[in-house]
Structure 1
């Protein structure tokens, strides 16, 4: 399938570059799913285009993801838009590459070790109860923005020890920052990018104040900020203050936006598939409600695990990977991948490969059951958290929050999708229903 001999002349992948300078960027941003779908139908699973000022090759499928993951840092290197790099910061894991990325990743992983996750679960459960009760009193609401508040509250509490629910200003500043991540990186008064840069500066000032508190009482807080300030590598080296600040900021976006998308999809799909919902509820009835929701208790919920896996397959929060710059000319599927171009892989289309997932458009948790062979047919066919050396650091944090939320929701509550709304998916920057998922919500009787 792949090799790295470039002695023979190979063709470029099929496709087109579009208009001068802007390429096909406008068409892609308007409707990414249609853009990719049309070109996949016309050209296959490997094609070229021109996006965001760069000649780009799009790769789809398990073979493509394995190809990229196994050659990450040798032949491909993570690259980001200017706005992303400026707003995340030069010390962020999202922009680090090579050895620097590897060392930083080991430091950051300490905040997601099993012991830390067990501590986080208690706070997650407490906040989940509070929000479920709030929604019960509201009766009808739009769930996506409410879930955004919920996941941001958990992220702020567990990452920086701040009660976001009582700090509306923090929420507004965070939103101004995150809204600029995909903006045009031009600073002029009131531009989205300029507002985001100012918001980043405000957030870092708040982090500085929190760090001073942690340094005065280093063992008083078991949040991510406290853990990273104390974390040491094998040689006793610690992260710099700038490293800590940039990466806590990056974790806020990663641990908040993608979870909002995933939980919204869970609520939508359960309402649309009552049989799955009922089976998940029966599992909860068998386990009983007396146990604390520890990671060990959650591991008993095998059917719920299948449901969550299928949610992330059929409606992944992120539909495409970040771009990789081609460091060395390579070959894939008989095509030349030139040095200096960009490549990215498509998560959504890879998850819908009919050669791996039978009737891939159907929501079927049983496809992940132990007796099923669908998901084991090809390594790289299931990639909601990416893979390789850049696999999502907070994967287990996300899985824990999703499962805990699902348990408390399914056990005690009912909801239905209100009529007359648009459930079509928007996929940039993160997947969600166009109208935000309007629901009626109430506590179960009995």
Structure 2
């Protein structure tokens, strides 16, 4: 029966906006646009991409309004996300490029909103399946275009950035703009497909075929950065496997041991960083990175607390980014290190807030993965590990799909381990034993 005063059309629209089918489709569309942003920008231009994202935001906002009475809002947004985004927005006030900062903050808020929508209306297993469906298609398209370019037609598709190097076994980048971006997305896919297969979310044949596709794409990127990230992810996966099979009463000791071992390895890596970087150096790539980081570090000293102002993806037309292009003799779209990038854009305050955000996301998701029986809880933890490790060599986590994945994982982890949710559920807990 229709509510009093509501027409059948309005009621039908409201039911559509509340439907799980719309939430499922919108989740896959948002993930698809985020992961294929480079392809869409090449095909329909930046205005077209922005129009597509804006349409998703409008529909998601209407869907949230329609669902507002059925959603649990306690502990929805981690304060770490809210404060970091607020500081980035505040940096518009002192930015020397106000319009570009407005655009950057707008993009940051847009992807964060879509991530929050996904985390709020879909369970983790549903997000896992949606991610798997999207990445199977996009990786398949990437491989198909690389084969078409490098083997069948023997000609590059320069408008997509595809050079046709598959005949020489790479490096390839597919539809994602760079080999490191392809490698990162393939790692996310590898984790997703593995958990899908283990949890029987897909058939065995689909799961195995998906993992083979991912393995081929990873090998063909020929990226030293991705090799290192994959190694860390494998170690993290083994650690979680060990923890999840350890008795609950002694699990905390193993957690402390793993934390201590991580600190020791980190210190060793810091001391031996020159030798490690030399081993990973591929041609002049590291020299460019080192020059860039050194100059970025010098520039942070000019605005140490507040930074230069948030922009997200770097513009080339304003200071200091044009200067950094000149120094490195390359067109840079990011700082190739998320932590130094954040420091440059929003200063020491922003750096501390970002560090708090990623640390809380990691700790919460890791503890949930260690202590919750369903295998799906492992997915956010390993995705955060991927994003943290890649952040030492790329700034992907600050924009686009990287930022979206971080916010999704942070929100889902906070829903599982939020102190505000605990207080809301047990408001008188502190007085029970008075």
TM-score range, shorter chain: under 0.3
The structure that is helix-richer by fraction is: 2
TM-score w.r.t. the length of structure 2 is 0.27
By percentage of residues, which structure has more strand?
Answer: 1
